[in-house]
Amino acid sequence: MAASSNHSAGTSGERLIDRTDALLLDLDGTVYHGARPIPEAVSALNKAHSHVGLKYITNNASRSPSAVAEALQEMGIPASEDEVLTSAQAGVTLLTSKIPAGSRVIVLGSDSLKELVNEAGFSVVTSADDQPAAVIQGHATTTGWPQMSEAALAINNGAVYVATNMDTTLPTERGLTVGNGSMIAAVTTATGVTPDSAGKPAGDMFTQAAEELHSDRPLAVGDRLNTDIAGGVAAGIPSLMVITGISGHTDLLAADPAERPTYIATDMMALFDPIDRSTPGPKQGWKAELTSDGVLQLSSVEGEVPEDSSEESLGGADSSQQARFSDRRSHDALLTAIAAAWEDGAPAVTQVTATDSTAQSVIDTWR
């Protein structure tokens, strides 16, 4: 199975931003890394704010919508409390569908989650002896053995178990730390009960966000295949994966159909590029073939370069423009490889190889 093309990677003038009326945005790994904003995301969101509606959708249940909006504003990103939807909010919505108003609930999570549970008409308790009707678990650094043990006792006594999200890791500026899903695993091991989860990869948050924005053409944007992209797929919403966070190039090549994005970009500024530059498919200058045993072979096609990136047109370009062209060439190679890997009936990719030094230099940059 092969993918190759003699056509330019940017034949259409239509931009990705022109195809949507709302961006449903992940945060960690997409907009920022811990306390550090991603520069291209900041630029893109400031530019997009006047074009489309924005909704920041996060599985992080430890902060209130107002706190999230304030943090984004401090990074120079346009955001209001109404533009934030957290998995804590979605978790409480799920909780209200499972138990009567006024019920007692054990909350494993932040103070903001406890406030949301109270505001929904429930009574927050801390002990299984209080006979709670439910346990809801969200991320909090203060959760430890005493809290999880009370939750386990309540669940073993029949309490409904709800989670805000199932993320096993939490990205920070120092790297990946223990996420809510890893804490949930301990309670599940003690009870044999897996919670119902409101967060990504379920599609509920995306559907809710699109409805709140009155959007007919939403676009999910995220960095993580098994949450952000899978959630968009589950909701039936097109998605853009930016390679700025958790999932990388090799993850994309091996992605399950339920986790495959519609568009792929090196960063969020691709929203303002021609749509072909982020659409998987054969691109000029590259050829990819997938063998029957899952070996993907990438080749460069000598003499082929994008029409607007010839040596002559780049003669007066500065170093940043030259670097952008280099990034585009590498990204075109990825989009070509993905087209071969994702063909109907294609075997799973087991290995990626290059047939020439140019292709190898690109593969060496993939993660």
Q: What's the token pair of residue 55? A: 């909704």
Pairing of strands 239-242, 218-222: parallel
Q: Looking at the DSSP assignment, which residues form a beta bridge with residue 28? A: 32
Residues annotated as part of the active site: 26, 28
- In angstroms, what CA-CA distances link 174 with 35, 177, 359? 10, 8, 32
Classify residue 272 as exposed, middle or buried by CB count within 10 Å of its CB (0-12, 13-18, 19+): middle
Residue 177: count other Cβ atoms within 10 Å of its Cβ.
Answer: 13
Q: Angle at the Cα of 86 (from 39 to 191), degrees rounded to 5?
A: 125
Among candidates 295, 300, 293, 262, which has minimal Cα distance to 4?
A: 300
Classify residue 35 as exposed, middle or buried by CB count within 10 Å of its CB (0-12, 13-18, 19+): exposed
Q: Angle at the Cα of 164 (from 158 to 169), degrees rounded to 5?
A: 115
* Neighbouring C-alpha atoms within 13 Å toward the C-beta of 268: 28
